[in-house]
Amino acid sequence: MSRFFVLTLNGVTQGAIYAAMALALVMIWRATKVINFAQGAMAMFTTYLAVFAIEHGTPYWVGFLVALVSGLLLGAIVERVIVRPVESAPALNVVILTLGLLLFLEALAPMAFGGQIRSFPPAFSIVGLRLGTSQVPFSPFDLFTLGSVVAVMLLLLVLFQKTDLGLRMRASAFNPEVSRLLGIRVGRMLTLGWALASLVGALAGVLIAPSLLLYPTFMDDVLVFGFTGAVLGGLDSAVGAVVGGLLMGFALTYVGGYFGSDLETVGALVILIAVLMVRPSGLFSVQRVRQV
């Protein structure tokens, strides 16, 4: 089987995870115009909570749920306690705030869970599926990864497009002032938005943890890849984030496969700079003029 084919299949799985990360960033960006640089660290922390549960004898699925629920709670707490008070502060201050949270969580994790590097169990076999006589480099766990990301995205799509709650959340992000006048509890919608985004990030964490090892900074790279994917998609578009994340998955597995996995972040840097130079508003957005 050709190397290219193998890498492409890997790229789909990786891309799904980066897409989840990108989507988490975009959801928060759209709701509060903040790039949550602590997104990766938050996902790292919830993954640690999951592995903590699993190491204490609970089945994988309990750990999986622990990660998602703690992600939901962590997102809500972060929005309510530390992001809300700086709502009207300069953008620089809010970015520094999320960086502080990143630093804090990455220090707290080894303090709480111990400094050793851990492995994270996958939910299903990571041995490739058999198609007839040949083995494809696509495992049941890859299928699960892809499936759960797609499922979460569909749920979010239904939430935002088909439900009253989703409409209210979109309205709050679009115009908080008017939404407030229309009787929408904008603050609650923002908290919910952060909580959901953090849940998606937590999902990315538990899904990628088996293929990476678990250590406090293990999500830094994933954050960078997700951010690049989000920028590829235009930072403002959920669909763009998903497509951008998938593209990053392909691009980086090719870079990793042909040049060495240490160069994946360099690849992301090159892609990011190139996109920002050529099409700063992303590949899909209608060209807008930035105020000088």
Enumerate binding residues for other proteins (CB under 8 A). Answer: 29, 34-35, 37, 82, 85-86, 89, 91-97, 99-108, 110-111, 114-116, 217, 220-221, 223-224, 227-228, 231, 235, 260, 262-266, 268-269, 272-273, 276-277, 280, 290-292
Comparing CA positions, the residue from 128, 110, 130 lying closest to residue 216 is 110
List C-alpha distances in Å: 183 to 114, 168, 190, 201, 288: 47, 10, 15, 30, 31
Please give the Cα distance from 153 to 183 (Å, whole number).
Answer: 28
Give me the least distance between CB of 291 and other proteins, in Å please: 7
Please give the Cα distance from 223 to 268 (Å, whole number).
Answer: 11
Give me the least distance between CB of 118 and other proteins, in Å please: 12
Comparing CA positions, the residue from 228, 218, 276 lying closest to residue 35 is 228
Helix axis angle, 164-174 to 140-162, nearest 10°: 80
Give me the least distance between CB of 150 and other proteins, in Å please: 26
Please give the Cα distance from 138 to 1 (Å, whole number).
Answer: 13
Q: In terms of CB distance, is 152 or 208 closer to other proteins?
A: 208
Give me the least distance between CB of 108 and other proteins, in Å please: 6
Give me the least distance between CB of 117 and other proteins, in Å please: 11
Q: In terms of CB distance, is 140 or 220 closer to other proteins?
A: 220
Comparing CA positions, the residue from 130, 124, 156 lying closest to residue 143 is 124
Give me the least distance between CB of 268 and other proteins, in Å please: 6
Outline where the chain has alpha helix (H).
Answer: 3-32, 39-55, 60-77, 91-113, 140-162, 164-174, 176-181, 186-208, 220-232, 238-259, 264-278
Residues 6 or more apart in contact with residue 169 via CB below 8 angstroms = 31, 159, 160, 189, 192, 193
235: left (phi over 0), alpha (psi -120 to 50) or beta: left
Q: In terms of CB distance, is 122 or 216 closer to other proteins?
A: 216
Give me the least distance between CB of 67 and other proteins, in Å please: 22
H or E, element range at 216: none
